[in-house]
Amino acid sequence: MTTASILRRWASKIRTGDRAGYVDYVRSTGGDDYSGTPGNLGFQMLLRDLPDGTTEIETLSWWDSIDAIVAFAGADHNRARYYPEDDRFLLVKPEFVTHFEVVLDARHGW
């Protein structure tokens, strides 16, 4: 079976009050880096506000190969990639991301 693509998933939390600033920050850091890396097939950022004043974040990015992910994340592609201002926003910084083989994708008719 041929892999259609690879999904890279990262998750964390921020303070809900930082939501707009964090979205702008990600757009100009990770978003630009995702889009500028050959082999990136797109990305999404998901937010979910919680009653405790925090917001869960997930970023999902799609890639055509592990080599493309390595070009984005570095040789240890299972580690999360962070940026200088992340400590200002993130309440937790998970060390690792998860990767999934996309075998069916109804958006593309696979």
Phi, psi of 4 (to 5 degrees): -70, -45
- Mean pLDDT for 25-53 is 94
Domain boundaries in the chain?
5-102
- Which pLDDT does position 32 carry in this prediction? 87
- At residue 4, the pLDDT reads 76
Q: What is the pLDDT of residue 3?
A: 57
Instruction: Output the pLDDT for position 109.
Output: 54
Question: What CATH architecture does domain 5-102 belong to?
Answer: 2-Layer Sandwich (3.30)
